[in-house]
Structure 1
Amino acid sequence: MKNQFHLDITTPCSENFDQFSPTSNGGFCGSCEKEVIDFSVMTTEDIITFFKTKATQNTCGRFNNNQLKTYNVESKKNKRIGFITTIGLTCLAFFSSFTAQAQDTVKAIAQKNNKSEIKASKFVKNIVVKGNVTENNMPLPGANVVLEGTTIGVATDFDGNFEFPEKLKIGDILIISYIGMESQKIVIENKDADLNIALNIDMKADACIIMGKVAVKDVYKSKRN
């Protein structure tokens, strides 16, 4: 297998290890002029680490009989690290998913609240409406500004300016009228209700219609003989 290696000595050496010159890892053989590694004092993990870090294939060593076997490259430490890594990745995935769901929830709540606020604002009378009425770029005093379906209204002043006496809401309709002029309907669409309204002469009107109280007077007639 890829993660295993086998140790074996095909040609045992007849030299006496006890007569070698001591080195940091074992002893020096004068016959072959090589360092002989003393694996007999090493643990399994030390042997695996040695052969993983040493690239040379010509290693002379001293082993116990039970050390000449197949070794698993994966150590317990690596398994533990792999287990911890797996737990870490799982936690990271969980918290990433939780964060994404939380962000989606907050976004959905914000959108719902915005829609609710927009919907509620359509039924709240909080808009101050004012403006100016002109005819042929000239101020039109005395023009009537009335809320459709009611008798609530106001007339423009000498300069054609007006301010509606009550606050309105989005969707309300104002009717602007003047004798001999075409009436206009203005829909309140937003909070910026500073209106500039120009009226035109009603070309269809043949005569002005005046309403009011009728005064009746007796007509004097002379007597004939």
Structure 2
Amino acid sequence: MHPAVTLSIPQPCHQSWAVMTPTASGRHCAACQKIVVDFTLKTDAEILAYLAGAANGRPGGRFAAGQLERPLQRAAPAAPTRWRAMPFRPS
């Protein structure tokens, strides 16, 4: 079982999202000198997947207040689909 992941930003960047330069994967923050990804509309599972594949350990991110300071929920495994053959009966 994976340990719970909780996001916190003790010292958030003061730079406004609106003044950051748009890029293919987010926006570039001149103050932080990193690409900032917009996670505000992403699910917990999407955030965890992105962070797991991040090249550096500290990517920049824009989050909604409700996404911070709580354990992120991993995606529940999909239940297997069971199909049952039904006899065909024309009407």
Tell me the TM-score normalized by structure 1.
0.32
Higher relative contact order (CA 8 A, sep 6+): 2
Q: 1:72 maps to which residue?
A: 73
1:4: Cα distance to partner? Answer: 2.2
- Deviations along 1:45-64, one digit per CA (max 9) or x if unpaired, are 32121112225222111110
Asked if 1 retains the 8 angstrom alpha-carbon contact of 2:36 and 2:62, the reply is: yes
Q: What amino acid does structure 1 have at the position aligned with 2:5?
A: F
Tell me the TM-score normalized by structure 2.
0.72
Q: Does 1:57 align with 2:57?
A: yes
Q: 2:8 maps to which residue?
A: 8
- Deviations along 1:161-199, one digit per CA (max 9) or x if unpaired, are xxxxxxxxxxxxxxxxxxxxxxxxxxxxxxxxxxxxxxx
Asked if 2 retains the 8 angstrom alpha-carbon contact of 1:3 and 1:72, the reply is: no
Q: What amino acid does structure 2 have at the position aligned with 1:44?
A: D
Structure richer in helix, relative to its length: 1
Q: 1:126 maps to which residue?
A: none
- Deviations along 1:32-52, one digit per CA (max 9) or x if unpaired, are 221111111322232121112
Distance 1:30 1:55 in 2: 20
SS at match of 1:46: helix
Q: Does 1:28 align with 2:33?
A: no
Q: 2:17 maps to which residue?
A: 17
Matches within 5 A, 1:119-134: none
- Deviations along 1:74-102, one digit per CA (max 9) or x if unpaired, are x12xx22xx43xx9xxxxxxxxxxxxxxx
**Runs of 4 or more consecutive aligned structure 1 residues displaced over 3 Å after TM superposition:** none
Question: What are the ranges of 5 or more consecutive residues in structure 1 without an aligned counterpart?
Answer: 88-225
SS at match of 1:40: coil
Distance 1:55 1:5 in 2: 18
Matches within 5 A, 1:115-154: none
SS at match of 2:40: helix
- Deviations along 1:111-130, one digit per CA (max 9) or x if unpaired, are xxxxxxxxxxxxxxxxxxxx
Q: What amino acid does structure 1 have at the position aligned with 2:51?
A: F
Asked if 2 retains the 8 angstrom alpha-carbon contact of 1:26 and 1:38, the reply is: yes
**Structure 1 residues 24 and 48, CA gap change in structure 2 (3 angstroms):** same
What is the aligned residue count? 80
Q: Which has the larger radius of gyration?
A: 1
Distance 2:56 2:33 in 1: 16
SS at match of 2:72: strand
